[in-house]
Every structure is written in structure tokens, then in C-alpha cells.
């Protein structure tokens, strides 16, 4: 379904809140061994039973066994899970109270795609509050902590840790990257002589292929390695001597072309505030860049926009290639002035990488990077809005006008047949008005509208309940 929303009013600022009462929500990543602190609130997406939910995605291995646990002292926790299906999931697993009391737990085996999505939900309608979501990989073995690119972990070797045959203690970490990716791992400690070992996963441990004692200077250790065909690399944070204990830091960086820089995750609807500086990786023309990765769906259309008040923004993008990207797309000023924008369709892998770059050599400064998923083809002057998203906009004299001389902005939403939507438009500056309808060739949707004025609320307006066809409308 593709919906077109026209709002004729006078010039002023407005927020537009768009909520889908089924399916779509922003997808957050979760790693093995990770506990996420989240919160269900009234701005979250809703299911048909009016319960709120957050959506998570775990990228593991086909056949991997995982345990997902959700706990909350504020509401009756409910879990749903299954493989990715468009912007949501195919609900194959669910649980209400297997973790005891009102807490939920699912033990599942990941399917052939290696991707598993999770809805953190409540059993009852309209329930809100804090929760904790934990994921453990049983196939990885107990005691394996996850590590992500760009992360520095603070840890401690103590007498409760596992020991090697030489009686040295160690902690075990796992990084899930890309085959052929080059990473740099650094272990530092002021309490003991640091020692690193690394290699591919082997049962609950690792196949020791790499090691280092003092390449980071003094008694600190560093390894630069290339990840094998599985994309999984494990690391032992260890000491050189037997029985040594104390604090340490462990850092992992993903090296890309040139100086090397980490790959940061980017989500649909997200705006990242970043900065190019002299510590960043450089291209052959001596320009600095930051590298981002979006994990979407094959054939998904996205728009990436980069803006900077400090330098001439330049974007490059394409599928992942080792620790960098294949440069298929680029733009200098598609967003106007010196700002850049690329509109692309994601290839068969579903993974798209973006270089946030400058046009000139050695330029530094602040920037913002925004990614929108636009599965529908929108025309010029339109905006894509996602479920659960609140857009801050402004009507002004440069906007298009209707026959009654009112200015308007146009938004598109790409949803699912039969999906129920709640759209709210508020402004302290003018009497708001919403129009809704179809993209070319599409059908009307069932939409509930609530409009407010600066003085008193208007009555609730409900759109005619016209059925949505059983196909996605483009």
C-alpha cells in the first residue's frame, strides 16, 4: 500500500506522528551475550490487539541455537520471533511466562537465512514500561561475550575465569563480521603482561591461529588479522604469565581502505551526527571518510542524505567488499548546495555500505547522515515516513499550494495490505488539516485521524473503511 497525505494549511511548524497498528517498526540489532535495556511507550508501533512492541534482529548462523529472555517489572512480558519478512517478521515462535512469573523466554533454532527477528511485546493492550532483553547463543558455548567493531570493552581477569594448560586465566570474545574483513584487536593492561590469541570458532572455544604479546608497545598486545570464510572470529584476552589477574581493555577496529576505520551500523529512519577528523581513514585523494553499513532487504529502495556546514559533502556507496565497499554510486550536491544525496536500490545481499566523505582533500568538520527506506517510488517534493516515526516539519511560502492557496507537504508510507494506521498532526501555529489517499493506481486505506487546534481539540475523524487489496502497491 502506498498512501499520499496532503495537508493544506498556513505557514508554520508542525510535527506529524505516524503509527502503524501492525507490522512495521524500526529494527534494532542484538548480539550474542548482549542484554538490551528497552522501554515500551506510547510512541512505539502497535499490533492489532493495541499492544506496543519493539523489534530486534539477530544475525547468526543457520542451525544456531539461541535463547531469548525478556524480563519486566512493569508489565507481563511477551515474546514473538521468527525469520525476517519485509519490515517485520514471520511469527513462528512465542512465549509468555517460561522465564518465571510474568517473564518470557524462547529457545529456538535459527533457519537457513541466519537472520532471526524478535518482538519485545506485552501480553496486555496499552501496557508500557522498562524491560531487559537478553540473547544467548547456545551453539557458541557459555562464557563467550560479543564484540562489535569500534567497541572498547573493559574487562577483568580473576580467579573465577577459565584457565589454559599454563594456568593463565582468560576471557573469550566473538566478533561476527564479513569473510575477508581485516580487523585490528588491541589488549591493554596496567596490571599484567597482556597476551592475545585468536582464530575461527571451534566448538565452545577457538582454533588458535593468531597470537601476540607486545605489538601494541610495552606489555600490551595487538593483532591484525583477516577473517576467514565463516565471518566469525574469536579472541582470547589472556595474560603471558600464569595466575595473573587484573583489569584490562579490549578494542576491535575494522580496517577499511587506507588508514583503517570501523564500520558503523545505520538504520532506516536514523539520522547520525558524525565528524570527519584527522584520525579518520583516508582515500587516495587524502580525503577523510567514515564508513557505515545498512542491512536491509534485496531490492529495497533507500535514500541517503549527507549534510555539513563545515565542508563540501560527498557520498559513495555500494555493496560490502571485504572491509570496504564496491563503489557503485556517488553524489556531490544532490541534496542542494554542498550537501549530497544518493537514491539507490539494494542488491541481492541486502547489505549496503556508505562512505561519508568530503569532496576536497583533508577537510574536517561535523556532518549529519540520514537514511530513509523508500520501497515506494515517490515523486519530487515527497517525504518517506515510517511506522512509529515523528517528523518535525514546517510549512512555508516555498511549499506547493492547493487551489485554496494553502501550502502543503506530501508524505508517503509503504505498508501492508489490511494494516491499520493512526496518523496525528499537531501544530501550535495553525488549524491542522490532513488529506489522505492513494499513490497512482493504489487503493484507499483505513486511517484514523486526530486533528488539534491551538484552542480546543476537534472531534475525531475516521476515514471510510475501504478494504486494502491483498498485494503490496508500488
pLDDT digits (tens, 9 = 90+) for 319-378: 987 677 888 899 999 999 999 999 999 988 888 999 999 999 999 999 999 888 865 333
Vertex 214 angle, CA 208 and 217, to 5°: 145
7 has pLDDT over 60: no
Phi, psi dihedral angles at 156 (to 5 degrees): -150, 130
* Residues 261-291 pLDDT 10s: 467 878 777 788 888 988 788 887 889 999 9
Where do the domains of the chain lie? 2-21+386-462, 27-131, 144-255, 263-373
- Report the relative pairing of strands 329-331 and 324-325 from DSSP bridges: unpaired
For residue 458, give the C-alpha cell: 476537534
For residue 231, give the C-alpha cell: 565471518
Domain 27-131 has CATH 2.60.120.380: yes
Residue that has been written with the C-alpha cell 512493569 in this structure: 74
User: How many helices (H) and strands (E) are present in the chain, helices listed first?
Assistant: 0, 45
The whole-model pTM stands at 0.37
DSSP string of 357-409? Answer: EESSTT--EEEEEEEEE--S---TTEEE--TTEEEEEEE-TTS-B-TTS-B--
* Residues 97-124 pLDDT 10s: 999 999 999 999 888 877 899 999 999 9
* Residues 145-158 pLDDT 10s: 877 777 778 889 99
What CA–CA distance (Å, rounded) separates 51 from 388? 13
- Report the relative pairing of strands 52-59 and 27-29 from DSSP bridges: parallel
Identical topology for domains 144-255 and 263-373 = yes
Q: Which of 174, 183, 171 is nearest to 136 (CA)?
A: 174
Q: How confident is the model at residue 92 (pLDDT cuts 50, 70, 90)?
A: confident
SS3 52: strand
**Are the C-beta atoms of 370 and 313 separated by less than 8 Å?**
no
Q: How confident is the model at residue 403 (pLDDT cuts 50, 70, 90)?
A: low
For residue 33, give the C-alpha cell: 551475550
Domain 263-373 has CATH 3.40.50.300: no
Contacts of 279 (CB under 8 A, 6+ apart): none
> What CATH architecture is 144-255?
Sandwich (2.60)
**Are the C-beta atoms of 195 and 240 separated by less than 8 Å?**
yes
**Whole-number pLDDT of residue 389:** 59
What CA–CA distance (Å, rounded) separates 74 from 77? 9
Rg (alpha carbons) of the chain, rounded to whole number: 25
- For the purposes of burial, counting CB atoms within 10 Å of the CB of 74, is it exposed (0-12), middle (13-18) or buried (19 or more)? middle
DSSP string of 133-194? Answer: EEEEESTT-TTEEEE-TT-EEEEEE-TTSEE-TTS-EEEEEEEE--TT-EEEEEEE-SSS-E
Vertex 273 angle, CA 270 and 279, to 5°: 130
- For the purposes of burial, counting CB atoms within 10 Å of the CB of 371, is it exposed (0-12), middle (13-18) or buried (19 or more)? buried
Mean pLDDT of the chain: 77
Vertex 72 angle, CA 70 and 78, to 5°: 50
* Residues 124-147 pLDDT 10s: 999 999 999 998 876 544 468 877
Amino acid at each position: 500500500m502506498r498512501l499520499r497525505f496532503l495537508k493544506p494549511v498556513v505557514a508554520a511548524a508542525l510535527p506529524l506522528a505516524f503509527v502503524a497498528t501492525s507490522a512495521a517498526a524500526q529494527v534494532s540489532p542484538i548480539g550474542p551475550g548482549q542484554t538490551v535495556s528497552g522501554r515500551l511507550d506510547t510512541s512505539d508501533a502497535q499490533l492489532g490487539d493495541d499492544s506496543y512492541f519493539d523489534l530486534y534482529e539477530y544475525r547468526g548462523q543457520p542451525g544456531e541455537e539461541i535463547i531469548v529472555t525478556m524480563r519486566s517489572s512493569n508489565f507481563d512480558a511477551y515474546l514473538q520471533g521468527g525469520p525476517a519478512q519485509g519490515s517485520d517478521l514471520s511469527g513462528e515462535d512465542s512465549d509468555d511466562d517460561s522465564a518465571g512469573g510474568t517473564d518470557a523466554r524462547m529457545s529456538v533454532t535459527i533457519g537457513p537465512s541466519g537472520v532471526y527477528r524478535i518482538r519485545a511485546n506485552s501480553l496486555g493492550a496499552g501496557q508500557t514500561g522498562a524491560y531487559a532483553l537478553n540473547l544467548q547463543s547456545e551453539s557458541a558455548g557459555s562464557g563467550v561475550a560479543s564484540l562489535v567493531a569500534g567497541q572498547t570493552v573493559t574487562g577483568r581477569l580473576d580467579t573465577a575465569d577459565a584457565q589454559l594448560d599454563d594456568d593463565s586465566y582468560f576471557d573469550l570474545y566473538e566478533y561476527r563480521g564479513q569473510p575477508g574483513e581485516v580487523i585490528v584487536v588491541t589488549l591493554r593492561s596496567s596490571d599484567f603482561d597482556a597476551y592475545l590469541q585468536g582464530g575461527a570458532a571451534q566448538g565452545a572455544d577457538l582454533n588458535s591461529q593468531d597470537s601476540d604479546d607486545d605489538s601494541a608497545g610495552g606489555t600490551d598486545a595487538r593483532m591484525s588479522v583477516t577473517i576467514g570464510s565463516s565471518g566469525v572470529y574469536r579472541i582470547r584476552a589472556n595474560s603471558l604469565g600464569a595466575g595473573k589477574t587484573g583489569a584490562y581493555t579490549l578494542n576491535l577496529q575494522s580496517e577499511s581502505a587506507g588508514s583503517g576505520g570501523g564500520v558503523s551500523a545505520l538504520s532506516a529512519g536514523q539520522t547520525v551526527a558524525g565528524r570527519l577528523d584527522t584520525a579518520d581513514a583516508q582515500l587516495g585523494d587524502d580525503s577523510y571518510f567514515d564508513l557505515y553499513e545498512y542491512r536491509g532487504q534485496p531490492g529495497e529502495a533507500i535514500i541517503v542524505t549527507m549534510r555539513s556546514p563545515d565542508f563540501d559533502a560527498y557520498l559513495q556507496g555500494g555493496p560490502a567488499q571485504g572491509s570496504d565497499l564496491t563503489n557503485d554510486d556517488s553524489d556531490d550536491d544532490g541534496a542542494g548546495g554542498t550537501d549530497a544525496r544518493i537514491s539507490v536500490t539494494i542488491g541481492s545481499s541486502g547489505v549496503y555500505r556508505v562512505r561519508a566523505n568530503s569532496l576536497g582533500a583533508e577537510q574536517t568538520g561535523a556532518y549529519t547522515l540520514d537514511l530513509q527506506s523508500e520501497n515506494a517510488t515517490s515523486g519530487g517534493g515527497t517525504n518517506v515516513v515510517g511506522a512509529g516515526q515523528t517528523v518535525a516539519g514546517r510549512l512555508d511560502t516555498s511549499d506547493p499550494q492547493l487551489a485554496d492557496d494553502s501550502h502543503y507537504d506530501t508524505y508517503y508510507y509503504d505498508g501492508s495490505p489490511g494494516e491499520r494506521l493512526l496518523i496525528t498532526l499537531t501544530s501550535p501555529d495553525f488549524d491542522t488539516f490532513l488529506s489522505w489517499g492513494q499513490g497512482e493506481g493504489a487503493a484507499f486505506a483505513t486511517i484514523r485521524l486526530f486533528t488539534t487546534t491551538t484552542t480546543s481539540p476537534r472531534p475525531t475523524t475516521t476515514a471510510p473503511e475501504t478494504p486494502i487489496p491483498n498485494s503490496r502497491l508500488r
